[in-house]
Amino acid sequence: MQSQTGVRFYRWDDMPKERVTDQISRRLVTGDRMMLAHVYLEKGSLVPQHQHENEQLTYILEGALHFWIGADRSEEVIVRAGEVLFIPSNVPHEARALEDTLDVDVFSPPRQDWLDGTDTYFHRK
């Protein structure tokens, strides 16, 4: 639903999931200057190392993600349900799901590569 003022209402359960890989899917809500995503990761799934101009907040609702931060993977942090990780612009990072995980990501500005399908880092060998 979109009102005359541009206000929009969403219900996660009514939105289709986009399949990103065999083990990762997502749902997106996008405004002009921010994006909110539900990311569903099966245990063992990997988000390969990447970086982007967008600031990122990762809030774990269920499960846990093990993050490696930096091009040399020198920083490690495990983010569990109820915890939030802030990733500044252009910081390399990767993550592995330690269990089935529901992750809420907030990006500013919106991830154009997610919107136009050019997020090829998911499919690198």
Q: Tell me: domain 15-123, CATH 2.60.120.260, correct? A: no
Instruction: Sketch the domain layout of the chain as residue ranges.
Output: 15-123
Closest CA to 115 of 31, 50, 48: 31
The CA distance from 28 to 10, in Å, is 10
**Are residues 117 and 69 in contact, defined by beta-carbon separation less than 8 angstroms?**
no
Confidence of residue 3 (pLDDT cuts 50, 70, 90): confident
Tell me the whole-structure pTM to 2 decimals: 0.93
Q: What angle do CA 85, 87, 89 make, to 5 degrees?
A: 165
pLDDT digits (tens, 9 = 90+) for 94-119: 999 999 999 999 999 999 999 998 99
The strand pairing partners of 64, in sequence order, are: 80
Residue 68, Cβ neighbours under 10 Å: how many?
16
